[in-house]
Amino acid sequence: MQTKSILKAFKIVFSGIDNAGKTSYLIALKEKYGFLDKILNLKPTKFIEYSSWTLMGKYVLNFWDMGGQKEFREQYLENQLYFDDTDIVLYLIDIQDESSFEESLNYLFDVLNIYRKTNYKNEIIVCFHKYDPGHKDTKVFWERKKTLVENIIDANPDMKFQFFNTSCYNLYSLTNALSYVLKKQLKMGSLDRKLREFTKKISGDYAILFSSQGLIISDYFEIDISTYEINSVIFKKMNDDLAYFQKYLDGEMKNDEKTEVVDQYLTLVKNFSVESLIDDEKPENYFLSLRSLNKEENKALIQANLPTILKELKAIII
């Protein structure tokens, strides 16, 4: 019998000073709905909290939520071991709390000094967190972010960064920032190509393949999502999708497919499962999300091409 074995374990570090939102980020990412009470009543994390996920039956994601109080920070900085073998680091800065910026940047630069000595190779993911959609200070946040980015890059010209605006009120922003490096590491080039082909075939705007946890394994965008208007409509849709995935997995939603017409668009979310090759392991769930203009001919194209793309995705994933 063929068995899958673990291909790789990823060490994913959530770093930043206390109150930046690290524990909340992880809770929102994992629960996807009904988590607000939980994050509003959080106590500061004591030292490091570990949790893990398996992904696609062959990867393990080990999350290190590194409590950010000063005493813990000092302990981490004294011992490089805490940072060794990190695959992905997300550094959270609370964009709402300007008074924390100096302390937050100082700690970031200390952490970067350690990563200079370890074998960290990927981009450093900096999240301007609590960048809440619809917040009255969004313009102010934008200015603050600009200054912070300049500071970070100027002080660390030898390092690669990727910057994201994240918020627990925008689930897609959380999954997107984390998936950014992960997706590169998984080297899913063949999935990317299939999604691209499929999106073109159905005259779609985008197609995204999510894991059961809502991580983005592969995506293709035909449209430019960098403008705010497009961006906010799509984010809203993704947030709904992510909550729907979790409700479907929790048995609260029965339909494995959801079609909606939003403005002039037709959207579809489809759940499918891939049999596990490991004995007694349950099949794994995936979700394909797509959008096209709401036209009869596009509807027909989706109907005609959906079975094939699902078959092709399954064949690659297995």
Ligand X SMILES: Nc1nc2c(ncn2[C@@H]2O[C@H](COP(=O)(O)OP(=O)(O)O)[C@@H](O)[C@H]2O)c(=O)[nH]1
Binding site for Mg ion (CB under 5 A): 22-23, 45
Distance between CA atoms of residues 175 and 30, nearest Å:
10
- Binding range to ligand X, per CB under 6 A, among 14-22, 255-263, 271-279, 306-314: 14-22
Told to check if 42 binds ligand X by CB under 6 A, we report yes
Name which position in 18, 31, 197, 312 contacts ligand X (CB under 6 A): 18
**126/195 with CB nearer Mg ion:** 126
**98/281 with CB nearer ligand X:** 98
Told to check if 50 binds ligand X by CB under 6 A, we report no
Shortest distance, CB of residue 26 to Mg ion, whole angstroms? 8
Residue 225's binding partner among Mg ion, ligand X, none (Cβ under 5 to 8 angstroms by kind) is none
Shortest distance, CB of residue 283 to ligand X, whole angstroms? 33
**20/306 with CB nearer ligand X:** 20
The 3-state DSSP class for residue 14 equals: strand
Shortest distance, CB of residue 40 to ligand X, whole angstroms? 5
Name which position in 21, 57, 204, 214 contacts ligand X (CB under 6 A): 21
CA atoms within 13 A on the CB side of 231: 11
Whether 21 contacts 129, CB under 8 Å: yes
Long-range contacts from 230-234, C-beta under 8 angstroms, 24+ separation: 232/133, 233/262, 233/263, 234/172, 234/206, 234/291
**22/144 with CB nearer ligand X:** 22
Distance between CA atoms of residues 128 and 167, nearest Å:
8
Name which position in 132, 219, 240, 284 contacts ligand X (CB under 6 A): 132
Shortest distance, CB of residue 55 to ligand X, whole angstroms? 23
Told to check if 39 binds ligand X by CB under 6 A, we report yes
Told to check if 144 binds ligand X by CB under 6 A, we report no
Whether 283 contacts 274, CB under 8 Å: yes
CA atoms within 13 A on the CB side of 272: 19
Name which position in 68, 181, 218, 271 contacts ligand X (CB under 6 A): 68
DSSP-derived secondary structure for 140-161: HHHHHHHHHHHHHHHH-TTS-E
Distance between CA atoms of residues 130 and 168, nearest Å:
7
Binding site for ligand X (CB under 6 A): 16, 18-24, 39-40, 42, 44-45, 68, 129-130, 132, 167-169
